[in-house]
A = this chain, B = another copy of it.
Amino acid sequence: MHNHDDSQALLSSKEALHLAKWDEARLEELLSEMHGSELGELLLSCRKDSERQTLIEYIPDELLGDALLELPEGMQEDMLADFNSSEVEDVVEHLDSDDAADILQAVDKGVADEVIERLEPAERREIESLLYHDEESAGGMMQAELFKVRQDWSVEKVLQVLRRFGKEIENLNYVYVVDSDDLLVGVISLHALLFSEADVVVSQLAKADFPRALAGQDQEDVAHIFEKYDVLALPVVDEQGVLIGRITADDVIDVIQEEATEDMYRLAALSDDDDLAEPVGVTARRRGVWLAVNLLTAIAASVVIAQFEATIAQVVALAVLMPIVASMGGIAGTQTLTVIVRGIALGRVTFDNARRTLIKEVSVGLVSGVSFAVVIGTIASFWFPELGIRLGWIIAAAMLLNLFAAALAGAMIPLTLKRLNIDPALASGTILTTVTDVVGFFSFLGLATLFLI
């Protein structure tokens, strides 16, 4: 961040990306002084892929990996598609193992294999082990770089070894203590080590109850452990308890943002890959899939209305009022749905307390239902006095029914999806509004057909 002003100019100036305007040497110098994430922003702000590709040629290898990792997955893959295996190698060799694995997952399988083959045996084993795990698991998040020591070493020996070999490990905060089979015995924070006498054996200092993640655990669970125990890094073990990696808090921050975006997008009928930077056609197609699903459900609701055409023809006021019942159900249901989906993501709603949560939400639905039934009943009676108080009773009953259905559906849909091991946010919103529209129109028009005409 030297020459900060120039870098800022490059980042914010609208002319910045007419790369031809820049002196080549000056541009390379400027880019080399920027942070990987700033370079990522710069790449993102390019309007065309061709601009991005030109820019990439000027970014030094040691920063290119970090810059590429800032890009949304689709764009990352597009950029990397033009790289041959030796170019990928140049990028990968400057990265920590977890980031290297992410890049290798984004390139063609053939290219990745060539790169891996040329790695040194130790590095190769590390990368292969990382690639083996699911991207969204603790194993997929972890990095292989960590500092582990044998349990029978003294503090003095640990510090000696640390001074010799620890230098390359970024964010080294904890020393991991293992036994002769590499089983994780415990964890010592770096500063606890500093405050100890030189001749103490490390197994005495190691915290055996320090939290750990299993390689197969979902990344959301990993985030919960971090939140719960306020640690800055977590050791990852395999099923036997063998230490195989560590996850640092800064990686978890990215995961949490990602998971929150995913839930928000899914609740709003967006695909996870929807991205601001992608072309209009791609976005329109992605969103179109969900709009098409919604069209089908909207037509289903219209089919319900069509059953009551004769009723509406006699009392047009029903057509005026019916969207109110449906709309209130939609909003109330979305409230419940959102609370439950977020509660599941944060670990606050579990199968243990699901029944209690369901009862609460349905109770809230009944309380709101009664309240808004009174309000809308009164309004409708005054709005259409020629239809008398009977219209008020009918719309009140429909409102109560729909708010009850909304709460029930809002709670049951995500809990059921979760039980079926499907993401509780996925398609929840669409199913929910189908329920509230159908129940809303059917109950209101049905009751009107029975009691009004």
Which chain A residues have a beta carbon within 8 Å of chain B's beta carbons? Answer: 1-2, 12, 35, 37-38, 44-45, 47, 159, 162-163, 166-167, 169, 171-173, 189-191, 194-195, 209, 223, 226-232, 248-250, 252-254, 256-257, 260-261, 263-265, 267-270, 274, 276, 280-281, 283-284, 287-288, 290-292, 294-295, 298-299, 301-302, 305-306, 309, 312-313, 316-324, 326-328, 331-332, 334-335, 337-339, 342-343, 346, 348-349, 352-353, 356-357, 360, 363-364, 367-368, 371-372, 375-376, 379, 433, 437, 441
Q: Are A194 and B159 in contact (CB-based, < 8 A)?
A: yes
* B residues less than 8 Å from A163 (CB atoms): 194-195
Do residues A376 and B283 form an inter-chain contact, with CB atoms below 8 A? no
Report whether A320 and B305 are in contact in the complex, using a CB–CB cutoff of 8 Å.
yes
In the complex, the answer to whether A2 meets B209 with C-beta atoms within 8 Å is yes
Q: Are A269 and B334 in contact (CB under 8 A)?
A: yes
A335 touches B250 (CB 8 A): no
- In the complex, are the beta carbons of B335 and A269 less than 8 A apart? yes
- Assess whether A364 is in contact with B287, with CB atoms less than 8 Å apart: yes
- Known contacts A163-B195, A270-B339, A367-B280; A232/B232 CB under 8 A: yes
Residues of chain B contacted by A357 (CB below 8 angstroms): 276
The 7 closest A-B pairs by CB, nearest first: A260-B260, A268-B338, A319-B319, A249-B249, A284-B367, A230-B250, A298-B327
Are A284 and B323 interface neighbours, CB within 8 A?
A: no
Say how far A344's CB is from chain B's closest CB, in angstroms: 11
**CB of A185, distance to nearest CB on chain B (Å):** 15
Which residues in B have their C-beta under 8 angstroms from that of A356? 47
Which secondary structure characterizes the binding site on chain A? Answer: helix
Known: A162-B194, A323-B298, A335-B290. A250 touches B263 (CB 8 A): no
Please tell me if the beta carbons of A276 and B323 are within 8 angstroms of each other in the complex: no
| Cα of A335 to Cα of B305 in the assembled complex, Å | 26
Query: What is the distance, in angstroms, from A195's C-beta to the closest C-beta of chain B?
Result: 5
Determine the distance from Cα of A379 to Cα of B306 in the docked complex, in whole angstroms: 14
Choose one: B191, B267, B353, B363; the contact of A172 (CB below 8 Å): B191
Q: Is the CB of B268 within 8 A of A334?
A: yes
For A290, give its contact among B288, B309, B331 (CB under 8 Å).
B331
Query: How near does chain B come to A227, taking the closest CB pair, in angstroms?
Result: 6
How far apart sit A370 and B267, CA to CA, in the bound complex (Å)? 25
A260-B264, A269-B334 given; A309·B320 CB < 8 A: yes
Closest Cβ of chain B: how far from A205's Cβ, in Å?
Answer: 13
Known: A294-B327, A326-B323. A264 touches B342 (CB 8 A): yes
* 30 contacts across the A-B interface (CB closer than 8 A): A2-B209, A35-B228, A35-B229, A166-B191, A166-B194, A171-B232, A172-B191, A173-B190, A190-B190, A223-B253, A227-B250, A227-B253, A227-B254, A232-B248, A249-B253, A263-B264, A264-B267, A267-B267, A268-B338, A269-B334, A270-B335, A280-B367, A281-B367, A284-B367, A287-B364, A291-B332, A316-B319, A323-B437, A323-B441, A327-B437
